[in-house]
């Protein structure tokens, strides 16, 4: 079974983030890769085997459980529907006949109508062998278990200015955002439907009933709620309804958080323990919400996810938001990518998290070009909490915990490694590791690792400690994570943590106190690329730049369930209406909501046009013209970190020109990958033959960015990219300009001037010529801009050389 992560590293602070890197044969060589590989974090194998991250997106480990010949495993079965005999009235009847021919006992879990041609079922190894021998079976893949990978955000993005500019973006919007996640807490004020008009006539969905959930929990805002569990139960056993609700109800919090981030109604005085107080609202506050619960405490099964996507297509959602994903595997083997292809065909934009495996290069996932892949950046908001030492020195930290139980005067301070029981856990404060005689009445410094961040606070409190300083280890870097700890606590970066330890080791009577400074706004510089945000290049198709862009994903305040504590600890009795979470799980619904906002203004735009608008209007520099910084090293970030840049929704609503794509364009892309007819049929669910007389090229996919891959052989090398622009604004003439930091690469554009009438399309060719020798730096960057003097349509350019 393949374990895949949700992308909220702080959504589940009780789980320690691992770093798992995915590679394929198609890797790109970068100078910094060799440095990073030598210092790569070790994946926590035992941890990955037992816990599921919230990604989101997506840390993956392969862990196949040994099965006996008679044990059953769940599979996704892809069928060549074109071979269905005419004697069958419907494909579902045919699928049952196929299954019956290999097993008298196997049950059909799901029959898929939209996402794939096929079904899911559980089979023994012998039944699997017989099924694979059937001529109409294209491929059988094991079910994948996906692990679970704002008050300030609207103002930070400028959404407060949009209402007056675009009066159609109001509560009468007919745009529906579908979210595949852990469900919803329908009582949240973020799903209040006051002022909403009738449910759109185009809506075909419904609200399903179940444990603690009835149809009355839905309204004109929350217009759909379904749940899917057949796949997960086939793999892990029946759901324990005393622990989690067999219904759309959210017992976890992640799904409520992402849904309200994307399209939550405005809620005044929203905060977490007083932090980040203000009005919380979704990116598309007027859009309708439909939730599809596919994730449970055990995991999220791809068979359930496909069923939910299948139904969401039939329900007529406009945007699908998935804060989860998998590794970079071939598109014809990636069921999530295949489901997204079907959604795209139906005009649905699919937004996915890029992953939380940064800052490692080649870690970005969900890289299919028909998926919008979203990385994470920071806001201009922070929650400072300083650690003040007895020697007068202060070190900055961050916290969401309350500090009112700490004395005003300094208290004794101790390193956990000097207070452990028989050396248990050294300095990592694992459960039961601290000696109450040494810890009682003191602040304890704990190292990250071995257990979750908030669990360490619980360990300190259980041993009688008054407070905690949580120090990053070297692999965590200098970007501490703010948590709502169960006791007064602050988190510090690695270097500051080392400095504090020196004080603890050499002062005979160390003391400290924690100074909580509440919410700080206007933090500069902002945004910066979140350290955890997964990075390019694209290990599967390096000619497609991923992530597409970044959006806010750090310390995001949004609605939460009241069935779980803000720390996720069972021992934490606190319940909140809003929680502050970080991860690409949070940046993904920002993009989904913005896509819905654009869809409400431009209902006829395709998913590719909407993504293009979001990409070509991003920004990559601060007001002082300096490049956005990378949170991992505080150095200038690159398009491998932020893609096209940081979203800028005001400009995205009027992009001027867009790079549009059709289904045929994506089919040509698959031909360029030399996919066989069977592989294309698996992705596209139809017979499609590549024209043997046509020269297909990945570089001709009409993508809003350029990833130029040179072979690196001696001699001049020339690579051409063809692009077509569609005018979605007023008539005008656009002139091209090029920026590049690679003097050895000659760049030319033909033509250099394009004049457009309304809705007119114009094509151009950009040629990249290498001198034949590799430059000193094996990574180079640039940009292409088309401008009419008012509107700028910008695309990033990255250069790389094969190994």
Q: Which residues are known catalytic residues?
A: 181, 254, 585
Nearest to 122, CA basis, from 301, 333, 310, 292:
301
Cβ atoms of 272 and 578 closer than 8 Å: yes
Dist CA 646 CA 624 (whole Å): 16
Q: What is the CA radius of gyration of the chain?
A: 26
Can you tell me which residue has the tokens 């008012």?
790
Cβ atoms of 733 and 756 closer than 8 Å: yes
Can you tell me which residue has the tokens 């060719």?
765
Q: What is the DSSP letter of 364?
A: -
Dist CA 145 CA 560 (whole Å): 24
Cβ contacts of 538 within 8 Å, gap of 6 or more: 328, 364, 367, 544, 545, 546, 707
CA angle centred on 789, ends 788 and 790, rounded to 5°: 95
Cβ contacts of 276 within 8 Å, gap of 6 or more: 151, 152, 270, 381, 383, 519, 555, 557, 580
Token pair of 214 as six digits = 């009835």
The answer, yes or no, to whether the previous bond of 196 is cis (omega within 30 of 0) is no
Q: What is the DSSP letter of 59?
A: E
DSSP string, 474-535: GGGTT-------SSSEEEE-HHHHHHHHHHHHH-SS-EEEEEE---EES-SS---B-TTS--
Cβ atoms of 757 and 789 closer than 8 Å: no
Dist CA 453 CA 471 (whole Å): 10
Nearest to 78, CA basis, from 330, 312, 338:
338
Dist CA 171 CA 226 (whole Å): 23
Dist CA 547 CA 539 (whole Å): 12
Cβ atoms of 445 and 540 closer than 8 Å: no
Q: What is the DSSP letter of 707?
A: E
Half-sphere exposure of 453 (CA within 13 A, CB side): 30
Q: How far is CA 626 from the centre of its chain?
A: 27
Nearest to 589, CA basis, from 190, 204, 307:
190
Dist CA 437 CA 770 (whole Å): 68
| Secondary structure of 274-294 in HEC code, one letter for each residue | CEEEEEECCCCCCCEEEEEEC
Q: What is the DSSP letter of 634?
A: S
């Amino acid at each position: 079974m393949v374990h895949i992560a949700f992308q909220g590293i702080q959504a589940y602070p009780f789980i320690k983030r691992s770093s798992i890197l995915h590679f394929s044969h198609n890797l790109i060589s970068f100078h910094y890769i060799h440095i990073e590989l030598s210092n790569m974090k070790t994946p926590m194998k035992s941890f990955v085997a037992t816990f599921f991250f919230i990604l989101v997106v997506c840390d993956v480990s392969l862990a196949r459980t040994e099965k006996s010949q008679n044990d059953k495993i769940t599979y996704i079965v892809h069928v060549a529907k074109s071979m269905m005999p005419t004697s069958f009235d419907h494909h579902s009847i045919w699928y049952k006949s196929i299954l019956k021919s290999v097993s008298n006992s196997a049950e059909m879990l799901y029959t898929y109508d939209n996402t794939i041609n096929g079904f899911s079922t559980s089979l023994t190894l012998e039944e699997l062998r017989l099924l694979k021998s059937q001529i109409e079976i294209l491929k059988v893949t094991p079910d994948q278990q996906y692990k679970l990978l704002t008050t300030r955000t609207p103002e930070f993005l400028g959404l407060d200015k949009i209402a007056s500019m675009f009066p159609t973006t109001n509560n009468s919007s007919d745009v529906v955002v579908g979210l595949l996640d852990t469900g919803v807490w329908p009582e949240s004020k973020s799903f209040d439907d006051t002022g909403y008009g009738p449910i759109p006539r185009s809506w075909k969905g419904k609200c399903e009933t179940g444990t603690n959930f009835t149809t009355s929990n839905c309204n004109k805002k929350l217009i759909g709620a379904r749940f899917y569990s057949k796949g997960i139960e086939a793999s892990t056993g029946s759901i324990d309804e005393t622990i989690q609700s067999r219904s759309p109800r959210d017992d976890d919090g992640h799904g409520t958080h992402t849904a309200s981030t994307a399209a939550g109604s405005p809620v005044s005085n929203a905060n977490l323990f007083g932090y980040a107080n203000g009005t919380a609202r979704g990116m598309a506050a007027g859009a309708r919400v439909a939730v599809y619960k596919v994730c449970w405490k055990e995991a999220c099964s791809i068979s359930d996810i496909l069923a939910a996507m299948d139904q969401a297509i039939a329900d007529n959602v406009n945007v699908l938001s998935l804060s989860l994903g998998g590794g970079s595997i071939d598109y014809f083997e990636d069921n999530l990518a295949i489901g997204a292809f079907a959604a795209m065909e139906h005009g649905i934009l699919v937004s996915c998290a890029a992953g939380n495996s940064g800052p490692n290069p080649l870690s970005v996932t969900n890289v299919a070009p028909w998926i919008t892949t979203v990385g994470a950046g920071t806001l201009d908001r922070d929650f400072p909490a300083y650690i003040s030492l007895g020697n007068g020195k202060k070190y900055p930290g961050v916290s969401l915990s309350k500090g009112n139980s700490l004395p005003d005067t300094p208290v004794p301070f101790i390193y956990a490694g000097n207070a452990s029981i028989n050396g248990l856990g050294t300095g990592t404060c694992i459960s039961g590791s601290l000696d109450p005689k040494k810890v009682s009445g003191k602040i304890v410094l704990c190292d990250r690792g071995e257990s979750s961040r908030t669990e360490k606070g619980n360990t300190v409190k259980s041993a009688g400690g008054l407070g905690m300083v949580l120090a990053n280890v070297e692999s965590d870097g200098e970007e501490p994570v703010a948590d709502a700890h169960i006791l007064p606590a602050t988190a510090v970066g690695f270097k500051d943590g080392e400095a504090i330890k020196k004080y603890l080791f050499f002062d005979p009577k160390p003391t400290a106190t924690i100074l909580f400074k509440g919410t700080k706004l206007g933090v500069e510089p902002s945004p910066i690329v979140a350290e955890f945000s997964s990075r390019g290049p694209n290990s599967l198709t390096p000619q497609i730049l991923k992530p597409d862009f970044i959006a806010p994903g750090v310390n995001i305040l949004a609605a939460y369930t009241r069935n779980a504590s803000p720390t996720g600890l069972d021992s934490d009795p606190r319940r909140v209406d809003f929680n502050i979470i970080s991860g690409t799980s949070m940046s993904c619904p920002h993009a989904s909501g913005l896509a819905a906002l654009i869809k409400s203004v431009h209902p006829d735009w395709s998913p590719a046009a909407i993504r293009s608008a979001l990409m070509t209007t991003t920004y990559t520099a601060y007001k002082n013209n300096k490049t956005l910084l990378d949170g991992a090293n505080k150095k200038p970030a690159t398009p491998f970190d932020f893609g096209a840049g940081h979203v800028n929704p005001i400009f995205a609503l009027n992009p001027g020109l867009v790079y549009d794509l059709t289904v045929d364009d994506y089919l040509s892309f698959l031909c360029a990958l030399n996919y066989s007819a069977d592989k294309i049929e698996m992705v596209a669910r139809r017979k499609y033959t590549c024209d043997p007389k046509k020269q297909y090229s990945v570089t001709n996919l009409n993508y809003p960015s350029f990833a130029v891959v040179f072979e690196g052989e001696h001699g001049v090398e020339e690579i051409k990219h063809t692009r077509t622009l569609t005018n979605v604004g007023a008539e005008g003439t656009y002139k091209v300009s090029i920026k590049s930091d690679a003097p050895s690469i000659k760049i030319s554009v033909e033509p250099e001037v394009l004049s457009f009438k309304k809705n007119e399309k114009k094509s151009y060719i950009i040629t990249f010529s290498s001198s034949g020798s590799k430059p000193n730096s094996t990574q180079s960057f640039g940009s292409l801009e088309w401008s009419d003097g008012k509107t700028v349509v910008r695309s990033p350019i990255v250069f790389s050389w094969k190994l």
